Chain A
Amino acid sequence: MKYVIVGSGVAGLAACEAIRSLDETGEICMLGDDPHGYYSRPGLAYYLTGEMHEKGLFPRTKKEWQSLNLRFIPGQATQIFPDEHELEVDGKTHLSYDRLLIAVGAQAVRLDVPGADQEGIVKLDHMEDARRILKLARRGKTAVVVGGGITALELVEGLRSRGVKVHYLLRGDRYWGNVLDEQESKIIEHRLQEDGVKLHHHAELIEVLGKRGRVQGVRLSDDRTLRCDILAYAIGIRPRVELAQEAGLAIDRGILANEFLQTSNPDIYVAGDVAQVYDPMSKRSIIDSLWGPAREQGHIAGLNMAGQQTAYIKAAPFNVTRLAGLTTTIIGTVGRGRDDDLVGIARGDSETWRALPDAIVAQTGFDVNRLRLLVGEKTLLGAIVMGDQKLSFPLEKNHFCERGYFPHSR
């Protein structure tokens, strides 16, 4: 059996491990277009703040990779020929497969305003982006950050901890308004302000100003201008569906998969940020752009590819992150609607979080220890735990309510 895995992220690695656990001799090829291969992408945030050094973000030693007995090919998959069971690499060589996994992830939505092609404009997708940000921060004095969700805050905190003066632009009246409630947004904003971040509400970027191809400032919709030498943005991510689309696979916002992570072509599987997976419980197809589900999907896809039929049972989406230095756990369904600061979804996000039914909110505590429980008619629907994480452990183990999210579709 010959397995080809496109993508060197956590979904791809988990798939390799799962395949190897069942098939010791099959040939596994991993194809990756990130020159740095597998590393902790969420860890880039801690690289920016200086808590982690670059080399430390690579979890596997060479020896550990060798024990998986796979062939790594640096390059980009440019085309799939499903009928021939072949993959084109870098527009040249062909690679044949029996089972193919697409785990190419998602990438940052590009900033689409006049002047957005100048030097000094950064996003946070890959290792190379993080390196660029750190290089700019060494000489940069002032940064403007636009966007919402977790990544935008990581940019704010990373730049701030490098001594850069930060203006954070928010389109609406508060931070991450479709997941956090008003008080939670205020807590985060307050902490950012204490850290010296200048927040601008109802601020919409309409033009990047520059001189000789370098950023010098931004113009806002109310005609104000802000001077800056760095512009960082995180306005959402988009699953990389092009490869599948050209191969004629069924796609929606992501590549569609059944509960066995199989695409519309039975020999092609999908996992991670690029996958939109059918959930038999809610009868919906969902994208999670989270590390945990990506790993789990990769694992299940690998088992199926190696012949052990296993369904992906979606757990209540769950993420732990640090917002303005405050460890925050988000479980189940906690918000609703859309966020003006994001185009599409944010990295570290789950669509499930926003399918909020009518629920009772219970809350306790002070600024830095806060619990919000979303209590449905019969079950718990979601929770946000900020600060002390002791309470989040039992909540995480609670099977959200006999999988009681998406109650409308039951």
Chain B
Amino acid sequence: MPVKDFFGSDASRRHVLAVGHVVSDSARCVQCGICTYNCPIEIDVRAYAWRGESIKHSKCLTCGECVARCPRGVLRFAQTDLFKGGTP
């Protein structure tokens, strides 16, 4: 495996952590609340998922707990420009 690929996944992960957000797909969500329950800083992720919104909470760490634990693939990381030009 080329060295570049070896570090590629880690680099992209850190890139996402720095500039990305957690986005939701409301069509997949059944409001079970596993995301909210597992958020280390108690953001109500489920409420965002109901509205199909990104987790545009200024305190979100993009730690990935909710993404990893959602049993239905509702949440994922994506690069968004939410915070460009100030806080929404």
A binds B: yes
Q: Is the CB of A322 within 8 A of B31?
A: no
Residue of A10, A59, A315, A392 touching B33 (CB-CB under 8 A): A59
Chain B's closest residue to A321 (CB) is: B72
Which residues does chain B contribute within 8 Å of A389, judged by CB atoms? 73
CB distance from B24 to the nearest CB of A (A): 12
Given A46-B71, A51-B71, 9 other A-B contacts at CB below 8 A?
A: A10-B31, A56-B36, A58-B33, A291-B30, A320-B72, A320-B74, A327-B72, A327-B73, A396-B28
Q: Is the CB of A51 within 8 A of B72?
A: no
Q: Which residues of B contact A (CB under 8 A)?
A: 25, 27-28, 30-34, 36-37, 46-47, 50, 69, 71-74, 76
> Interface residues of A: mostly helix, strand, loop or mixed?
mixed
Contacts of A381-410 to chain B: CB distance below 8 A = 389, 392-393, 396
CB distance from B27 to the nearest CB of A (A): 5
A206 at the interface (CB under 8 A from B): no
Q: Is the CB of A327 within 8 A of B47?
A: no
Chain A's closest residue to B69 (CB) is: A51
A42 at the interface (CB under 8 A from B): yes
Q: Which residues of A contact B (CB under 8 A)?
A: 10, 40-43, 46, 51-53, 56-59, 291-292, 315, 318, 320-322, 327, 329, 389, 392-393, 396
Chain A's closest residue to B74 (CB) is: A320
Which residues does chain A contribute within 8 Å of B36, judged by CB atoms? 56
* A327-B71 CB under 8 A given contacts A52-B37, A53-B37, A59-B50: yes
CB distance from B1 to the nearest CB of A (A): 19
Q: Is the CB of B71 within 8 A of A322?
A: yes
CB distance from B74 to the nearest CB of A (A): 8
| Complex Cα gap A42–B74 (Å) | 14
Q: Is the CB of B30 within 8 A of A40?
A: yes
Q: Is the CB of A52 within 8 A of B30?
A: no
Which residues does chain B contribute within 8 Å of A329, judged by CB atoms? 73
Q: Is the CB of A40 within 8 A of B71?
A: no
Chain A's closest residue to B33 (CB) is: A56
Q: Is the CB of A42 within 8 A of B27?
A: no
Q: Is the CB of B72 within 8 A of A43?
A: no
Shortest 8 CB-CB distances between A and B: which pairs?
A43-B32, A42-B30, A389-B73, A320-B72, A40-B31, A56-B33, A59-B31, A291-B30
Residue of A46, A327, A396 touching B27 (CB-CB under 8 A): A396
